[in-house]
Structure 1
Amino acid sequence: MTSGFYVQPCEVYGNNKCDEVIGLDLNLSSMSCLPFPSLSTLENNSAVWEIPFIDETRNHKRVKLEDSANESIISTNYSLYSGSGTGSMYTSGFNSLSRIQFRDHISAYTRRYLAAEKMEEEASTLLGGEPEEEGSGDGMKLVQKLISCAEAVACRDKTHASALLSELRTNAQVFGTSFQRVASCFIQALTDRLALVQPLGAVGVTTKMIAVSSEKDEALHLVYEICPHIQFSHFVANTSILEAFEGESYVHVIDLGMTLGLLHGYQWLNLMESLASRTGQPLRRLRITGVGDSGERLEAIGNELKLYAQSMELDFGFLAVESNLENLKAEDFNLIDGEVLIINSILQLHCLVKESRGALNSVLQTLYDLSPKLMVLVEQDSSHNGPFFLGRFMEALHNYSAIFDSLDAMLPRYDTRRAKMEQFYFGEEIKNIVSCEGPARVERHERVDQWRRRMRRAGFQPAPLKMITQATKWLEMNASEGYTIVEDKGCFVLGWKSKPIIAVSCWRCF
């Protein structure tokens, strides 16, 4: 019998089959129904189609699916290219597709099926950190149901997705196991996305911006105090900056995003303290330019830094630039001849990674033209910006499952501080990744290798980090057991067990 690839409708979603057709743009964020997409343009009264596989050298698995009647009326005597056989296949819809188009469609859906198969295989790893007494069987059911719900949302099957969400809410608890807690955030994100999807046939989803709240400010402060992610970034960044300061008299630091929105300039207070205590040639003047959306907040941080610098008898100047990163210009920074320039970017540039890439490329070119002696880049080392919704969903589920698992090692289950961090900080990131599209989706995290390629294309050259001993010692003193540091081609990657979380790298122009 001819090797075949079998296709069926999305019967896993009940009678409401996914109506996404083969001709739909494959780059849509609302990915087609996985793992079993419906080929609407190929449908006729037949229940089962056997499509002779085009590339016999590939070892793809068969997926044989049947409709509710379990009919099978198609034989294997058809030839898609010669027209041999009875010819009824051509009268049932295939005549609308050219040979090349048909090859492309089968190849695309094969890739999607394999991606879905991988999703199912990886689902079992999500519960690896859950203790057995928490019920690994129930946890696995929760994982599978959550993935099924994401598939239904991707298909815009509101009826099935809503039913699954209702079931999921009874099992996902804010004070439950780490996976129950992370599932609660993803359930809310899927609920938001489902509420925003347009009717079938429309492209993409409606988007909304997530408002900044006092709860998020408090959650960010707790993340800074309790989790090592931001403090580790500050430590490596400041150590690198101090090395770049060595032998310099006048230094200017540009802080993109100004302390992530924290109400205090912790990173720069620590830097000033280090400057005051170090030996050798003293720094004659330090200037810091803070870039951010809130001029009032920038000025408050600037005043705090000025008072601290005065207590340290340090000549200090501060400039606030109220602007988003896309609108920055060289003249905004009031550069002075003879000053050494340092650029500091902590968890900021991923917000510019849009579909066109033009915004990020433009900003990187502007920064490169400033000729900094050093640029510190800190970003999440994760892949949350893939072209397909379900791929992003699974990547985010892996990443945040590790983060929530790490919180178990730091705080008791019923600690309200942990709930605030999970719901108002990490939960907001999850909602942005899962429920938003277009300009509203700003949490577009990418892998460290992608950032390397992007920085090199902009003209920057790597400045390898060499303080692994210091970084390891800092981690031992300031983080829970389970956190690790890995040196990756001159970058430092902070992770929880085997899962990378934060990547720190340094760059120079010459």
Structure 2
Amino acid sequence: MLQFRREVEKLQRMVRASEEAWPVALSRFEGEEEDGGGSVRLVQLLIACAEAAACRDRAQASALLRELQSAAVVHGSAFQRVASCFVQGLSDRLALVQPLGAVGIVGAAASSSTPDGDGDGGLRARREEALGLAYEVCPYMQFGHFAANAAMLEAFEGESVVHVVDLGMTMGLPGGHQWRGLLDGLARRQPPNLPRRVRITGVGLGGAAVERMREIGEGIVEHGRGLGLHVEFAAVESGGAGLEGLRAEQLRVEPGEALVVNTVLQLHCVVKESRGALNAVLQTIHRLSPRLLVLVEQDSSHNGPFFLGRFMEALHYYSAIFDSLDAALPKYATKRAKVEQFHYARRSRTSSAARPAGWSGTSAWTVAPPMSRAGSSLCAQDDGAGELWLADAKKKFCDGYTVAEEKGC
């Protein structure tokens, strides 16, 4: 009980600090608004509505939600667009809330969906297009791929047979961007440092995902052939249980090969550690004895025990994302709208609604304790190369991005 009270007090301090800090953080948005204080008012309404929902006060939350729905417009300022995503999430959350004193079980809202649900084919195509556009217009995923490849190239130095196991296959990007970049780096080496054989194994979460991986793999093999590299690609299905259903023997690791396991924005899809899934995945990786485990994750945790804490974390995180999109693209750019509505909006909406099973946002250092228990340790990437990459990338992206190391990540 004492621990619970401490958590509540910590959450209350977080809310008070956020209410004080948001006006300063939002000053960058105010230049584009005509009402002179609309973003600050939106933050106050969002926090108040989230507090009411957390307290199961449906009447108060509904009243605040009606005010928010008229103020948070999808084609408005940067923060209005952020707020519109969270308003929808709060609406989904409210549909799951029982009034105080009610007894029983409430089913999931009809409109809520998992962040990775495909829905109909047309919606899936729009989401895939939005993911590709997000990769194109923002440096986040490109930098993650660059940093991961730099670590792998170092681990593969002087090896004749190299093998990469990719958990989730780089977010389903149809071009196989990360592996084309890795092959380009390997091909620049001179004998005897040029590997005679490159194996890439993609791990998918279902039959459809595996089929798509095979299509991507054909392009990767062809790209390697054009570079003079012998590339082999295999696709493996982890099973209905998700990544925790993967077995080490499925990956057919061969004696003498240099093995690296790569996971880009995938461990946040593993259910939280208390249910054993994260430990199971890390223990499977440890049994493979890889030379390196490359982990790329978002710098945010949407996995706290309390709804209000998750809401505040997500609001801060996605406000920064939308701010960077606003700096990169014009206000009415079609690309920006697609990225916001079909990629980031559904994720922010999930963060502000009821957390579905299997969705567990995490920051990179969140997995450090279970990694240690599984027999691994963190090894930070030297950001010198990252600074050089970012300096060159500024020709393509807008200014304002930096590289930082925190807690060894």
Do these two structures clear the TM 0.5 threshold for a shared fold by scoring above it?
yes
The 3 A distance-change label for structure 1 pair 344 and 113 is: closer
Matched, 1:461 2:377: yes
Corresponding residue for 1:290? 202
The separation in 2 between residues aligned to 1:306 and 1:376, in whole angstroms, is 22
Corresponding residue for 1:314? 229
The 3 A distance-change label for structure 1 pair 203 and 425 is: farther
Does the 8 A contact of 1:219 with 1:421 survive in 2? yes
177, 188, 194: which one pairs with 1:277?
A: 188
Q: Which has the higher helix share?
A: 2
Cα RMSD of the aligned pairs, angstroms, is 2.2
TM-score by length of 1: 0.71
In the TM superposition, what whole-angstrom CA distance separates every residue of 1:26-62 from its partner, at most 9, and x where no partner exists? Answer: xxxxxxxxxxxxxxxxxxxxxxxxxxxxxxxxxxxxx
Amino acid corresponding to residue 201 of structure 2 in structure 1: T
How far off its partner does 1:132 sit?
A: 3.3
Matched, 1:162 2:74: no
Q: Which has the higher strand share?
A: 1
Corresponding residue for 1:122? 21
How far off its partner does 1:252 sit?
A: 0.8
The 3 A distance-change label for structure 1 pair 352 and 205 is: farther
How far off its partner does 1:125 sit?
A: 3.7
Does the 8 A contact of 1:354 with 1:439 survive in 2? no
Unaligned stretches of 5+ residues in structure 1: 1-100, 492-510
In the TM superposition, what whole-angstrom CA distance separates every residue of 1:350-395 from its partner, at most 9, and x where no partner exists? Answer: 2214262410011101101100001100111112111110111111
Query: Percent of aligned pairs with the same residue?
Result: 50
Matched, 1:339 2:257: yes
Does the 8 A contact of 2:58 with 2:99 survive in 1? no
How far off its partner does 1:416 sit?
A: 1.6
How far off its partner does 1:133 sit?
A: 4.9
Q: Spell out the pairing of 1:103-502 with structure 2 (5 A cutoff).
A: 110-111=9-10, 113-134=12-33, 135-200=35-100, 201-202=102-103, 206-207=107-108, 209-210=113-114, 211-212=117-118, 213-281=124-192, 282-293=194-205, 294-323=209-238, 324-354=242-272, 356-439=274-357, 442=359, 444-466=360-382, 468-478=383-393, 479-488=397-406, 490-491=408-409
How far off its partner does 1:220 sit?
A: 0.5
The 3 A distance-change label for structure 1 pair 277 and 408 is: same
How far off its partner does 1:412 sit?
A: 0.3
Amino acid corresponding to residue 457 of structure 1 in structure 2: R
Amino acid corresponding to residue 308 of structure 1 in structure 2: H
Does the 8 A contact of 1:179 with 1:401 survive in 2? yes
SS at match of 1:439: coil
SS at match of 1:150: helix
Does the 8 A contact of 2:57 with 2:99 survive in 1? no
The total of aligned residue pairs comes to 387
How far off its partner does 1:218 sit?
A: 1.1
How far off its partner does 1:490 sit?
A: 4.3
Does the 8 A contact of 2:296 with 2:364 survive in 1? no
* Greater radius of gyration (CA): 1
The separation in 1 between residues aligned to 2:127 and 2:18, in whole angstroms, is 31
Q: Spell out the pairing of 1:10-49 with structure 2 (5 A cutoff).
A: none
Amino acid corresponding to residue 199 of structure 2 in structure 1: R
In the TM superposition, what whole-angstrom CA distance separates every residue of 1:177-202 from its partner, at most 9, and x where no partner exists? Answer: 21111001001111111123345445
The 3 A distance-change label for structure 1 pair 108 and 381 is: closer
Moved over 6 A (4+): 103-108
The 3 A distance-change label for structure 1 pair 475 and 113 is: closer
The separation in 2 between residues aligned to 1:321 and 1:448, in whole angstroms, is 25
The separation in 1 between residues aligned to 2:190 and 2:105, in whole angstroms, is 58
The separation in 2 between residues aligned to 1:319 and 1:385, in whole angstroms, is 33
The 3 A distance-change label for structure 1 pair 472 and 104 is: closer
SS at match of 1:164: helix
* Higher relative contact order (Cα pairs below 8 Å, separated by 6+ residues): 2
SS at match of 2:29: coil
Does the 8 A contact of 1:368 with 1:458 survive in 2? yes
How far off its partner does 1:110 sit?
A: 4.8
Does the 8 A contact of 1:276 with 1:312 survive in 2? yes
